[in-house]
A and B are shown apart, each in its own frame.
Chain A
Amino acid sequence: MLAAGLGIAAVVCAVLAIRASRLLSAALWLAVVSALVSIILYELGARQVAVIELSVGAGLVTVLFVFAISIAGDDGLGEASVLPRWLAVGAVGVLLVLLVGMALPVAETDAAAGEFSIEATLWDQRALDVLVQIVLIFTGVLCLLGLLAETRLPAQTPAQPVAANVGRTEIPPVDQVPDEPVEAPELEPVLEEASL
Chain B
Amino acid sequence: MTDWLIGLTILVPWIGALAVWLTGDDRPELQHRLAVVFSVVAGVCALLLLPSYDSAPALSIEVGSVFGTFTFVPDGLGVFLTAVATVVGSLAVIFSVDYMRGEQSLGRYYALVLFFIGAMVGLVLSGSLFLMFVFWEITALCSYALISFYNDDPAAVAGGLRALIITQLGGLGLLAGALVTYAYFGDTQISIFLKNAGTLPSGMLSVMAYGALIAAAAKSAQVPFHTWLPGAMEAPTPISALIHAATMVNAGVYLLARFYPAFADVSGWTTAVVLVGLLSAFLAALMAVFATDLKRVLAYSTISQLGYMVYAVGVGGVFASQFHLLSHAVFKALLFLAAGAVIHSVGTRDMRKMGGLKKEMPFVRTVFVIGALALAGLPILNGFWSKELVLEDGLHHGPVWAYVGMLIAAGITALYTFRMVWMVFYGEPRREGHVHDAGQAMKLATGVLAVGTLTTWLLAGGFGEMLEESLPFHGLHVPAGTTLYETILTAPATYLALAVIAVGLAAWWFRDRLAWVGEAVPWLAKAADVDFGFEWLNQRVVSITISAGETLRVTQTGLLNWNVLGIVGGLVIVLAVLALGA
CB-CB nearest in chain A for B535: A176
Which residues in A have their C-beta under 8 angstroms from that of B575? 95, 98-99, 102
Quick one: given A173-B539, A185-B525, A185-B529, are A91 and B292 in contact (CB under 8 Å)? no
Main secondary structure of the interface of A (DSSP, over half): loop
Q: Verify if A172 is at the interface (C-beta below 8 Å from B).
A: yes
Render B539-554 as a binary contact track against A, CB cut-off 8 A, 1 for contact.
1001100100110000
Indicate the size class of the contact surface on chain A: 35 or more
B433 located at the interface, meaning its Cβ lies under 8 Å from any Cβ of chain A in the complex: no
Contact A193 B428, beta carbon cutoff 8 Å: yes
- Report B-chain residues with C-beta under 8 Å of the C-beta of A190: 352
A169 B549 Cβ-Cβ under 8 A: yes
Q: Which residue of A lies closest to B557 (CB)?
A: A82
Bound complex: CA of A92 vs CA of B352, how far in Å? Answer: 69
Q: Which chain B residues border A83 with CB–CB below 8 Å? A: 561-562, 565
> Within 8 Å of chain A (Cβ to Cβ): is B284?
no
- Cβ–Cβ < 8 Å partners of B180 in chain A: none
Complex: chain A residue closest to B162, CB-CB = A174
Task: Report whether A195 and B561 are in contact in the complex, using a CB–CB cutoff of 8 Å.
Answer: no
Alpha-carbon distance A178/B349, docked complex (angstroms):
8
Please name the residue on chain A nearest to B543 by beta carbon: A171
- Taken together as a complex, chains A and B put the C-alpha atoms of A33 and B512 apart, in Å, by 94
Interface membership of B509, Cβ < 8 A: yes
For residue A180, CB closer than 8 A to chain B, the reply is yes
B518 adjacent to chain A (CB < 8 Å): yes
Which residues does chain B contribute within 8 Å of A110, judged by CB atoms?
A: none
Q: Nearest-CB distance from A145 to chain B (Å)?
A: 26
How many angstroms from the CA of A98 to the CA of B579 in the assembled complex?
A: 8
Across the interface, A98 reaches (CB within 8 A) one of B231, B349, B572, namely: B572
Which of chain A's residues have a CB closer than 8 A to the CB of B582?
Answer: 102
Q: Does residue A87 face the partner (Cβ distance < 8 Å to B)?
A: yes
B157, B289, B572: the one contacting A95 at CB < 8 Å is B572
Q: Which residues of A contact B515 (CB under 8 A)?
A: 186-188
Residue A71, interface by CB 8 Å? no
> What residues of chain A lie closer than 8 Å to B419, measured between beta carbons?
189
Map CB proximity to B onto A158-169 as digits: 1 under 8 Å, 0 otherwise: 000000000011
Closest residue on chain B to residue A188 by CB atoms: B511
Rounded to whole Å, the gap between the CB of B144 and the closest CB of chain A is 13
By beta carbon, the residue of chain B nearest A81 is: B561
Q: How many residues of B contact A (CB 8 A)?
A: 55
Q: Is A94 an interface residue (CB 8 A)?
A: yes
Q: Tell me if B512 and A169 are in contact (CB < 8 A).
A: no
CB pair B529 A182 closer than 8 Å:
yes
User: A171 to chain B: which residues have CB within 8 Å?
Assistant: 157-158, 161, 542-543, 546
Determine the residue in chain B with the shortest Cβ distance to A102: B579
Whether A196 touches B509, Cβ cut-off 8 Å, given contacts A169-B549, A187-B518, is yes
Q: Whole-angstrom distance from the CB of A94 to the nearest CB of chain B?
A: 5
Tell me if A142 counts as interface (CB < 8 A to partner B). Answer: no
Docked pose: A88 CA to B569 CA in angstroms: 11
Chain B 519-545, CB-CB to A under 8 Å as 1, else 0, gives: 100100110111000010001001100
Measured between alpha carbons, how far is A60 from B559 in the docked complex, in Å? Answer: 29
Q: Does A177 contact B (CB under 8 A)?
A: yes
Give the CA-CA distance A87 to B559 in the complex, in Å: 16
Instruction: Please determine whether A95 and B571 come into contact, CB atoms closer than 8 angstroms.
Output: yes
The answer to whether A82 touches B154 (Cβ under 8 A) is no
Q: A195 contacts which chain B residues (CB < 8 A)?
A: 427-428
Q: Residue B350 at the A interface, CB < 8 A? A: yes
A171, B349: Cα distance in complex, Å: 23
Report the nearest B residue to A179, measured CB to CB: B350
Contact present for B539 and A174 (CB under 8 Å) = yes
A111, CB-defined interface residue at 8 Å: no
B576 with A98: CB separation less than 8 A? yes
Bound together, the chains give a CA A148 to CA B509 distance in angstroms of 79
Partner of A174, one of B159, B529, B549: B159
Chain A residues positioned under 8 Å from B559 (CB to CB): 82
A19 to B539, CA, bound (A): 53
Measured CB to CB, the nearest residue on chain A to B509 is A196
- Beyond A82-B562, A172-B154, A195-B427, whether A189 also contacts B350 by CB under 8 A is no
Complex interface: chain A residues within 8 A of B546 (CB)? 169, 171
Known: A98-B576, A190-B352. Contact between A174 and B511, CB under 8 A?
Answer: no
Q: Which residues of B contact A189 (CB under 8 A)?
A: 292, 351-352, 419, 423
Chain B residues with CB under 8 Å of A185's CB are 290, 292, 525, 528-529
Q: How far is the CB of A4 from chain B (nearest CB, A)?
A: 26
Which of A82, A185, A187, A188 is most buried by chain B, counting CB atoms within 10 A of its CB?
A187
Residues on the B chain within 8 Å of A92, using CB: 568
- The CA of A101 and the CA of B580, in the complex, are separated in Å by 12
Does residue A107 face the partner (Cβ distance < 8 Å to B)?
no
4 smallest A-B Cβ distances: which pairs? A187-B518, A188-B511, A98-B575, A194-B427
Report 13 cross-chain contacts, Cβ distance below 8 Å, ordered by A residue.
A91-B572, A98-B572, A102-B579, A168-B550, A174-B155, A176-B535, A180-B292, A184-B526, A185-B529, A187-B515, A189-B352, A189-B423, A194-B428
Chain A residues engaging chain B, CB cutoff 8 angstroms: 81-83, 87-88, 91-92, 94-95, 98-99, 101-102, 168-169, 171-178, 180, 182, 184-191, 193-196
